[in-house]
Amino acid sequence: MISDTLIPDTSMTETNTDKDHIKATMKDAILKAAEKVFSDYGFEGASFRAISELCGAKRALILYHFKSKDALWKAVAEDVKTRFLTQFSAYYHEAELKTDLQKSRQLNVAFLKAARDVPEYGRIILHEGLTPNERIKWMSQELKPELVTMPDLQDPFLIEASLSGLIRHMQAGALLYLGSMGPLIAMDTEDADTLLSDASIEQFADYFQTITLARMDQLKQLEE
pLDDT above 50 (res 2) = no
Q: Which helix (H) or strand (E) holds 130?
A: none
Contacts of 166 (CB under 8 A, 6+ apart): 211, 212, 215
- Banded model confidence at residue 6, pLDDT cuts 50, 70, 90: very low
62-92 pLDDT tens trace: 999 999 999 999 999 999 999 999 999 999 9
155-186 pLDDT tens trace: 887 887 776 777 777 777 777 777 666 666 66
- Banded model confidence at residue 1, pLDDT cuts 50, 70, 90: very low
Identity of the residue numbered 204: F
Percent of the chain surpassing pLDDT 70: 81
Is the model more confident about 188 or about 83?
A: 83
**What is the pLDDT averaged over residues 101-105?**
88
pTM of the complete model: 0.79
Q: Tell me, what's the pLDDT at 76?
A: 97
197-220 pLDDT tens trace: 888 889 888 988 888 888 888 877
Q: Tell me, what's the pLDDT at 7?
A: 43
Q: Tell me, what's the pLDDT at 13?
A: 54
pLDDT above 90 (res 44) = yes
Is the model more confident about 1 or about 123?
A: 123
Contacts of 205 (CB under 8 A, 6+ apart): 105, 106, 108, 109, 112
Is the model more confident about 50 or about 174?
A: 50
- Measured CA angle at 115 (ends 109, 84), to 5 deg: 105
Calpha distance 204→68 (Å, rounded): 40
Is the model more confident about 132 or about 182?
A: 132
pLDDT above 50 (res 5) = no
Q: Tell me, what's the pLDDT at 8?
A: 47
Mean pLDDT for the chain overall: 82
Is the model more confident about 9 or about 67?
A: 67
**What is the pLDDT averaged over residues 97-110?**
89
Q: Pick the closest to residue 66 from 101, 115, 111, 31 (CA basis).
A: 31
Q: Tell me, what's the pLDDT at 185?
A: 66
